[in-house]
Structure 1
Amino acid sequence: MPPPTTIAKSRRVWDRQAARYDRGMRYVEARLLAGGREWVASRATGRVLEVAVGTGLTLRHYPADIQLTGIELAPAMLDIARRRATALGRPADLREGDAHALSFPDESFDTVTCVLSLCAIADSATALTEMRRVLRPGGRLLLLDHVASTSRALHLLQWLVERVTLPLQGERFTQRTLPLVRATGFDIIEQERLKAGVVQRIHARKAPSG
């Protein structure tokens, strides 16, 4: 569990970025991540928790018949997500929360999603453990993120970028997410690597008890 000072710094960083976040993501998503949010949302069923919902860019893609809850650390990001949900007519329980300590009982959700956010959560392993805890047995974990490239040249570039992004905003570019998901006790159902391995989509399952 990261110290409170780390969590507070992350909240300040993303609060400052909230107003320009959507504009900055527009080009990145069009060139690098097209179809990613749709891929995640199309696999969500039942009671769904989106961890680090951000400004709510995935909201429009979820099926109409799910029951959606979202948590977000940064209040300014959350305000935008709430306005977006209202504009879309999308019923959702959007609340402030920390991915390291989810304020939900065990086995509360059928699906947990995390879109382009695990890379910026200070302790990914703790967050994944919490996601597993709140999933029912057999529940789905759906992730989209940028990870360490399979290209050595790109991996080096990511490492260099990380020298700036890690101290400034806690964002990692060389994380290897799939081993973390497996180590947390999930079974992998689907996984894709795109764009020289920089983009990864993961569909995993919490093994049924017994």
Structure 2
Amino acid sequence: MTGTAKPSAAEAATAKQRRVWDKGAPSYDKQIAFFEKVQFGGGREWLGTRARGRVLDVAVGTGRSLPHYPSGVQLTGIDLSPAMLAIARRRATDLNRTIDLHEGDAEHLPFDDASFDTVVCALSLCSIPNPATAIAQMHRVLVPGGRILLLDHVASTWPPVRAAQWLLERITIPAAGEHFTRRQLALVAAAGFDIVETERLKAGSVERIHATKRA
């Protein structure tokens, strides 16, 4: 007797994330706009000014970083959600920006080794099921000396805020796989990157990271 193989835990987590983002895509820009202004203000600009050469935007979403990239870069974007990519495609057209968009998983990037000069990931490692695997993939597709640029919310340096984040996770992790008490800096260093600069903002609950792949 034969049947369909049961998906692994990792596959199930990825499929759940795709459903969450497909469902949320139509309202995502409206919902995130306030938080980007108040909590993450200037973050996408910070990423864009540091992007160089062939740029891969991992978890590109609806393309909210597109306006902030320099005109001379060559853009590629990847996202798990077809619905989010459809909005990113329209945004690129409206901005007259050229970007090669792909549907795919940040933990299994469908690109050759050393394909990019810069990898950017904004507000997404908080919900990627295995961020260490995703960061290792970003390392793989970067040229030696290439840049990784990250923006995300992380565990606060202020205990009362961190406690509130932990409580919030009791809802957000089961519902949408979204974490608030992760921190990616140690994972970036462990993956073989040299840290160039970091910033902690908003009681340490927002982190910006610029690192380079060791030659």
Q: TM-score range by the shorter chain?
A: over 0.9
Q: Does structure 2 conserve the Cα–Cα contact (< 8 Å) formed by 1:146 and 1:198?
A: yes
* Structure index of larger Rg: 2
- Structure 2 letter corresponding to 1:114: C
Matched, 1:135 2:142: yes
**Residue 3 of structure 1 corresponds to which residue in structure 2?**
10
**Residue 207 of structure 1 corresponds to which residue in structure 2?**
214
Q: Does structure 2 conserve the Cα–Cα contact (< 8 Å) formed by 1:2 and 1:122?
A: no
Structure 1 residue 2 displacement after superposition: 5.5
Report the Cα distance in structure 1 between the residues aligned to 2:167 and 2:65, rounded to whole angstroms: 29
Report the Cα distance in structure 1 between the residues aligned to 2:9 and 2:121, rounded to whole angstroms: 19
Unaligned segments of structure 2, at least 5 residues:
1-7
The secondary structure found in structure 1 opposite 2:41 is coil
Report the Cα distance in structure 2 between the residues aligned to 1:108 and 1:65, rounded to whole angstroms: 17
Q: TM-score, normalised by structure 1?
A: 0.98
**Residue 78 of structure 1 corresponds to which residue in structure 2?**
85
Match of 2:52 among 45, 48, 53: 45
Between the two proteins, what is the percent identity of the paired residues?
60
The secondary structure found in structure 2 opposite 1:87 is helix
Q: Does structure 1 conserve the Cα–Cα contact (< 8 Å) formed by 2:147 and 2:210?
A: yes
- Structure 2 letter corresponding to 1:40: L
Match of 2:127 among 120, 124, 132: 120
Q: Does structure 1 conserve the Cα–Cα contact (< 8 Å) formed by 2:63 and 2:87?
A: yes
The secondary structure found in structure 2 opposite 1:65 is coil
Report the Cα distance in structure 2 between the residues aligned to 1:85 and 1:191, rounded to whole angstroms: 29
C-alpha distance after superposition, 1:92-112 (max 9, x if no partner) = 001101000000000000000
Q: TM-score, normalised by structure 2?
A: 0.95
**Residue 107 of structure 1 corresponds to which residue in structure 2?**
114
- The number of equivalent residue pairs is 208
Matched, 1:61 2:62: no
Unaligned segments of structure 1, at least 5 residues:
none
Q: Does structure 2 conserve the Cα–Cα contact (< 8 Å) formed by 1:147 and 1:199?
A: yes
C-alpha distance after superposition, 1:9-56 (max 9, x if no partner) = 110001000011000111101111110000001100000000000000
C-alpha distance after superposition, 1:150-192 (max 9, x if no partner) = 0000000000001111011101000011111111111000000
Report the Cα distance in structure 2 between the residues aligned to 1:176 and 1:49, rounded to whole angstroms: 22
Moved segments of 4+, more than 6 Å: none
